[in-house]
């Protein structure tokens, strides 16, 4: 049984909390050795798992926006959509992650958080 629908403000707070988690609970930088999700010291932003979390959150924002539940600017929605497409269609998952990849992801997350916290 589902509870009552969340208010737009609560939805925004939940999205911001999940994005903050992705930003703060994963390790910055590029380690000397490749990290897999099964690595004993996994939890690096360089891992594809981190990017999968970002894509999941950004897809959720796009879906909720389409449903009229979360309202962010059209410009940022288009930027999110282009970014998600770039991660899912450019062969990103077949190559090693760079610091520029991490920086770009963090820029998008920071823009989304800033807009949702207005």
Domain ranges of the chain: 8-28+41-116
DSSP H stretches of helix in 37-98: 48-66, 74-89
Highest mean pLDDT among 43-47, 88-92, 103-107: 103-107
State pLDDT tens for residues 33-78.
887 777 778 889 999 889 999 999 999 999 988 888 877 899 999 9
**Degrees to nearest 5, angle at CA 111 with 70 and 22:** 85
Dump pLDDT digits (tens) for 4-18.
Answer: 567 888 889 999 999
Q: Band the pLDDT of 3: cuts 50, 70, 90.
A: low
Tell me what pLDDT residue 41 has: 80
Q: Are 35 and 48 in contact (CB under 8 A)?
A: no
Q: Which residue has the tokens 């998952």?
A: 93
- All residues at 6 or more sequence positions from 101 whose CB lies less than 8 Å from its CB, including other chains: 51, 92
């Amino acid at each position: 049984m589902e509870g009552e629908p969340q208010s737009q403000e609560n939805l925004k707070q939940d999205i911001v909390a999940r994005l903050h988690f992705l930003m703060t609970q994963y390790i910055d930088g590029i380690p000397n050795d490749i990290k897999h999700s099964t690595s004993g010291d996994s939890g690096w932003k360089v891992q594809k798992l981190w990017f999968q979390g970002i894509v999941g959150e950004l897809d959720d924002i796009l879906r909720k926006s389409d449903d009229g539940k979360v309202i962010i600017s059209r410009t940022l929605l288009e930027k999110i959509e282009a970014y998600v497409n770039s991660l899912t269609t450019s062969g990103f998952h077949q190559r090693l992650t760079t610091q520029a990849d991490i920086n770009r992801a963090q820029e998008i997350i920071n823009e989304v958080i800033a807009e949702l916290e207005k």
